[in-house]
Amino acid sequence: MADELAPESLSPVTRNISAVLVHIQQAAQRAGRQPDAIRLVAATKFVPLHRVQEAIEAGVRILGESRLQEALPKMHALRSAPELAWHFIGRLQRRKVKSVVGVFEMIHSVDSLTLAEEINRRAGESGVSQAVLLEVNIGGESTKAGFMPSDVADVLTALDGMPNLTVKGLMVIPPQTAQAEQARPYFRRTRGLAEELGRLELKQASMGELSMGMSQDYHVAVEEGATLVRVGTAIFGERPE
Ligand SMILES: *Cc1c(COP(=O)(O)O)cnc(C)c1O
């Protein structure tokens, strides 16, 4: 019996998830944080359904989807899986907002005022309140989506008046770096920005969530205050990109 439970007999996905959870826990401890303050979002783009199911069996409870057309069949197939939450983490086109609102527990990637307005409008039509994060272009890269750090306070103030959308925090994808450690200043800056924004007089928006850290650097992100880490490759292996 014991042999059947030996780590070698588990699927790679299951072993990878255990390893990621241990790394999150260790990073939290190094930073004096409670490990349960950090939630793992499994980023599943290009991952076939049966491997997503393995991840769920291994305890993953949040699935991060980047593409609506890929997410919908998975959501349908997994509709009876208990306690699953779906997060939208990819770039969201305005015309797809209608299908995302109320279906995804959180949208991480709000990167323009017009997108926020559309989410608010569609959420109102559906009678739901949509939780969102503001994507910040923390490296100020011309090729990246997201609000410039200097614009976020104004954006947040504008969104705070929208009745059907609630800002829960920030999301960042820092510039690609060769080493995880080089991402640390961007994560730290993000947390500093969230702290600043949290001091604004806000009606319902809050800055409790920081979605930052991917396979290469989630341990650093956790040390710097991440509450949501979006991990794909470290769980599912390399993607066919
Ligand atoms: C794919 C993706 C991830 C996961 O990236 P990995 O490096 O594979 O962990 C995280 N966030 C977003 C927005 C993604 O599109």
Pocket of ligand 1 (CB under 6 A): 43, 45, 66, 89-90, 173, 214-216, 230-234
Judged against a pLDDT cut of 90, whether residue 225 lies above it is answered with: yes
**pTM (two decimals):** 0.95
Of the pLDDT bands very low, low, confident and very high (cuts 50, 70, 90), residue 198 is: very high
Q: Which residue has the tokens 């323009």?
A: 112
Of the pLDDT bands very low, low, confident and very high (cuts 50, 70, 90), residue 18 is: very high
Of the pLDDT bands very low, low, confident and very high (cuts 50, 70, 90), residue 6 is: low
As given in the structure block, the two tokens for residue 50 are: 């049966």
Confidence at residue 180, expressed as pLDDT on a 0 to 100 scale: 97
Judged against a pLDDT cut of 50, whether residue 1 lies above it is answered with: no
Judged against a pLDDT cut of 50, whether residue 16 lies above it is answered with: yes
**What is the Å distance from ligand 1's center to 161 Cα?**
31
Judged against a pLDDT cut of 80, whether residue 71 lies above it is answered with: yes
pLDDT tens across 116-167, in order? 999 999 999 999 999 999 999 999 999 999 999 999 999 999 999 999 999 9
Q: Which atom of ligand 1 is nearest to the CA of 108?
A: 13
Judged against a pLDDT cut of 60, whether residue 32 lies above it is answered with: yes
Provide the mean pLDDT of the chain: 95
**What is the Å distance from ligand 1's center to 89 Cα?**
8
Judged against a pLDDT cut of 90, whether residue 174 lies above it is answered with: yes
Confidence at residue 2, expressed as pLDDT on a 0 to 100 scale: 46
Percent over 70 (pLDDT), the chain = 96
The 10 Å CB-count burial string (b at 16+, else e) for 127-161 is eebbbbbbbbbbbeeeebbbbebeebeebbeebbe
Question: Three-state SS across the chain?
Answer: CCHHHCHHHCCHHHHHHHHHHHHHHHHHHHCCCCHHHCEEEEECCCCCHHHHHHHHHCCCCEEEECCHHHHHHHHHHCCCCCCCEEEECCCCCHHHHHHHCCCCCEEEEECCHHHHHHHHHHHHHHCCCEEEEEEECCCCCCCCCCECHHHHHHHHHHHHCCCCEEEEEEEECCCCCCCHHHHHHHHHHHHHHHHHHHCCCCCCCCCCEEECCCCCCHHHHHHCCCCEEEECHHHHCCCCC
Residue in 214, 215, 218, 238 to alter for ligand 1 test, most ligand atoms within 8 A of Cβ: 214
Confidence at residue 106, expressed as pLDDT on a 0 to 100 scale: 98
Query: Worst-scoring range by mean pLDDT, 31-40, 78-87, 123-132, 216-225?
Result: 78-87
Judged against a pLDDT cut of 90, whether residue 15 lies above it is answered with: yes
Mean pLDDT of 10-30: 96
Residue in 46, 52, 67, 89 to alter for ligand 1 test, most ligand atoms within 8 A of Cβ: 89
Q: Which atom of ligand 1 is nearest to the CA of 230?
A: 10
Return phi, psi of residue 151, to 5°. Answer: -95, -15
- Asked if residues 138 and 190 have their Cβ atoms less than 8 Å apart, the reply is yes
- Asked if residues 68 and 46 have their Cβ atoms less than 8 Å apart, the reply is no
Residue in 66, 87, 135 to alter for ligand 1 test, most ligand atoms within 8 A of Cβ: 66
Judged against a pLDDT cut of 80, whether residue 4 lies above it is answered with: no
